[in-house]
Structure formats: structure tokens, C-alpha cells
Structure 1
Amino acid sequence: MDTGTHIAMGVAISGLALADTAVANDPSTMGAVFAGIMVGSLIPDIDTVLKLRNNAVYLRNHRGITHSVPAVMLWPLLISILLTLIVPGAEFLHVWAWTFLAVFIHVFVDIFNSYGTQALRPFSQKWVAIGVINTFDPIFFGLHVIAILAWFLGTDPLATMSTLYIVIFFYYLLRFAVKSAVKRSVKKTVPGATEIFIAPTMKFFQWRVAATTEVDHYVGRAYGRSITLYDRFKREPMPASPQVSAALEDPNLKAFVSFSPLYRWSVSHVGDLYEVRLIDLRYRSKGYYPFVAVAHVNQDLEVVNSYTGWIFSEDKLRKKLKFAPNN
């Protein structure tokens, strides 16, 4: 989820924490628990700083080790030790338990996005991405805001937040049902589909759709169970050439391939350079495919510049390529 939603969830969990008498009756423990919950609600996304290095490193690592099983166990321990040192008298076990819940819920809700996490690491390197809730879901966020406002206006926090999460549970069930209906419709619209990708958007009934058959890629949108296909691309093997091989060894293209399960390629010349472009088909927006990886290879089979990331115009892509680092 986005940072704002994780913060809202941290506040809601703080309301639940007041059901713990050790928290409700001890100001020191309460302060440490509230701090632990808020830090725990955000700490798994600390790997966002990898963007400062480059997009390739960020793509390969975001929601990876920081969302893994060892991290879910380690973050609460480290945070709780630090907080009980800072806040004299705070009860460690209670600080740890509520911080652990905050970290666990952060990682748990992230697996329901289309981006997903490596939540099963180190047991599996697979990205777990269920894809029923958008990274920012207005209904999910709005329900939290309503509950938090109700709490601040004087309602019982335990009853309020318990009701919130019961409602959200049924909301998730509804999202699963809608996605399942969309998938059935895609199968009817694209007979013989071997792979189907369905991603939520911020609008409840609208979904991104991409499907693959033995010969074609299809890209479209779903509104409820109504499927509209916008593009169709022939599936063709990538050319076996020294330039393509050199481009695919570039870190930016490697990161893209590790992240994107559904893409097409294009090969062209830009001046004296050989351009290899990989285009993710999952995120079509206003007729454009903004998530790409591009490498330029010279006559000596050296990648002179490359880039991977979100670009919404060719002009911006050219600027990025001109200044983008090669590592």
C-alpha cells in the first residue's frame, strides 16, 4: 500500500492497542507502543531509499528482504529494544507484541497489491502478488479515515477499530469475487489464453487486463464483467544477435525482466546505436505503455546508456537515457 494508507493503518492499530490494559493504564507503555506501531507500520518500506541509487536496484529489491519472514521477526525486536531503552518503564513484551502486529499487517496487506512482496523469503524467492487491492484504494483508505475520525470524536476505539476490520474483511471478499468474475469474462473474450493478468485500479469496477495466447498478447480494460481490448501484439521470439545479448546483460534490463512477467520487445536504430526496448504490457495508460526498459548498444557491443522505470513521453525517455547511469 502507499505510505498514507500505512500511516492510517498504524493509527487504527493504535486504537486496538488500547484494549491492552498494560497499554491503557501505563503512559510509558502507551507512548512506546504507539511509537512502535507507527514505526512498525512504515519500516518495511525503508528500502524505498534504494531509489536514490537507481531504478534497477530499487526494482530488484523493493518489497524483497525488508518484507521477508526474517525481517518481520527482526524489525519488531529492534524497534522494541530501542523504544524500551528510550522510554523508561515501558513494558517490553507489550511494546514488542503490538509492534510485531503492525509490521506483520504492513507486509500482509502488501501481498494483495499487484506489485506484491517476497513475503515467503527465504523459503521462496517468488513474488506473492494477489492483485485485488490497488496500491492506493480510496475505499480502503476512506474506511480508515472514517474510523479514526469517529475515535477522535469520542467513540470506543476497540469497538470502532474492530468494526473497521470486520468491514474491511468483507470488502476484501467482495474484491476477490469481482476479480474472479473479471477473469471468467477474460477467458470468454480471449479463448485459449494461457496467461491472464488482472490488476486493480483506484476505481472499484475498473481493472487492467492483459492476456497471452500461444500466438498473441492482448491488452485491455475491464469494467465489471465487460472487457474492452485495446491492443493485440504478435508473440515473436527476440532476435538472436550480439547486440540483443549485450543489452540483456545490462542491470536495468535484468531488473525489468525479473519484475515483469508480461512484456513485448522492440529493436531499432537510434543514430549509430542499437536500441533494445522492453515494454511492460500490464500498465497501459491513455494509449501509452509507461513502464519500460531501454538499452543503447554501440558498435563495440557496449551498453552506452540504459534506463528502466516509468516514463510517459518519448521526450522524457530520451532525457533519462542521456543522463541515466549504466549500473
Structure 2
Amino acid sequence: MKKRYLLLLLISISSLAQFKPADFNNAMELMYGSSQQKALSNLEALEKKYPKEAQVIFLRGFYQYRDGDQNGAMMNISNAIKTNPKFAFAYGARAKLFSAKGMLEKAILDMTVAVTIEPKNTEFYYKRAEYYSKNQQNQEALNDYKKIIQLTPIDFNAYYEAATLTDLMNANGDVFFKEAYLVKGIQKYSVDFLYAKYMMNAKRFDAAKPVIESALADEKNFDGDDLQIAAIIFYKTKEYQKSAEYFRKAIAKKPGDINFRCNLASVYIDLKDWQKVKETAEGALDLDPDYPLSNMYMAIGLKWTGNEPLGLEYEAKAKRLNAEQNKN
């Protein structure tokens, strides 16, 4: 499913008057890129040309953040704010640093300034809601998700976040999905998927099943993690063949995820298809021979396909690995 992917602070910089947005965007792209030397060379050139510009001071702080120097990043980003108090982007970056240090109230204050400067920037509301939630200010977080819905009614993720938070507050979160279904132009399959996921998290598997089936009409838009959610819902409603089918599809989308394979092996146990248990465990062991669960599934598969002695060896290995890893 196409999701919203948030970079550190991918937002508008329309409020920055003396520095070309194209130069700033190019510098940020280099920061996110794979070449640290290119990012540094570009930054140094900008510092020579614009030594007192808030955006350039910010870029030095961002570079320090990328390089692991959080204290230096905090200092330069704060200096960028002092240079240009209307620099909303910098408040958002500093809020992230505050949050990483556990200083959630300061993070919220910075995001509140950012929201005041750019009141229609939904990314700011998402970040502030995140910090409110971490600070156990659930009602304030919910208010921000409602504001996002008001600003961008087709943002299906906001309905999911609002519903999840409402459920956490022991109220009925379904109302947000009912509202979402009425919005013209919203991606229905995305709403279906998120509603099914929401109900799955609430252990309402029977109610989730027809909704996930509706979502799967647009299956091509789903990634491996999404397909695993469908597989889990089918498993919990005892549709084991469909569960196995969607775990296999999840593996095809994300072949390096060992948990998908272990979950599929578990489904095959319910189906009593011991050869498939063994084959699936072999695939998991190819990814990581020291993963306890895949060794245990291999033990089960071997025992039920006539090789109990080797199965006992894998079982002993699984128990040993589990004990060692839990100890560490």
C-alpha cells in the first residue's frame, strides 16, 4: 500500500526569503544522499557564500545531526532560529532533537511555534501529535489528528491514528473510519486496509476479515508487511489456506524477512503439512541459521517427516540459542 513516508522534516520552506529554495532543497537532498563528501563540499561552499544566512547555519546543524553530533546540531539549529525566528523548518528539527533527548515538553513547544508559523502544514501536526502521545497527552494528540483531517480530508492515515488513539482512550474509534468512507476522493482500499488493521489490533478478527477482503481487491498496492496483516487476519479466523497464501505473497514481496517464513511454518503446522513446515524452515535457516524459532520449526518438520534423530538435534540447538539470546 502506498504510505506516507516522512523524512526528518520534509516541509515547505516558503517562509525563507533570502536563500533560494532550490539551493536549500539541493543541499538537503545531498544530506540524505549516500555521499558524505558531496554533502560537506556543498555545505562549505554555501557557508563561504552565505555565512550569516539562517538556512546555511541550519544546514551545518543538520550535517552535524547526520554525523552523530547531536550537541553541535542543537547549537547550530538554535542559532539558525535566533537568526531567523520565523524559520519553521528549524523549529521542527530542534523538536526532533529535544524528543530524542526525552525533553518532550520542549519538543512540543517548538512544534507549537512551527504550527503557528505554518498553520496549514500537516507534517507539523503529525509530529506534534507524536510528541503529545509520547508525553501521554492523548487528548491533545487527538486534537492534532482531527486538525489534519480538517486540513486534508483525504489523508487516510490521520483517520487511523485518530481511531487508534481514541481506542486507547476507551472510546469508539470506528467513527473515524465511518467518516473517512464518506470523503470524496479518498482511497477506499487504503481506508479498508487501515480499518481492518485497526480491528485486528483490537482482536476483532471476524469483523476485520470482510474488510481486509475488500481491501485486497487492490492487492497490487500492498507491500509485504501489509500482506502479512491480511495473513494474520485469515489465520485468526481459521482460514488457514488463505493465511498461507498471503504469507507466501508477503515473502515474495519481502524475501529477507525471516519472521514471515516462521509465521508461514506455523500455519503449515495447523494444516498438518509437515513437508511444507520443513521446507519453509529451511528457507528461514538460509536467512539465519542461528534464529531459534526457525530451528524449532525445522525440528518439528523433521520429526513429522521421519527424521526424528536430526529433529532432536535441531530442537536442542533451538533451545540453546533461545537461552543464550535471552541471557544476552
With structure 2 as the length reference, what TM-score do the two structures score? 0.30
More helix by proportion, 1 or 2?
Answer: 2
With structure 1 as the length reference, what TM-score do the two structures score? 0.30
Ranked by relative contact order (alpha carbons within 8 Å, sequence separation 6 or more), the top structure is: 1
The structure that has the greater radius of gyration is 2
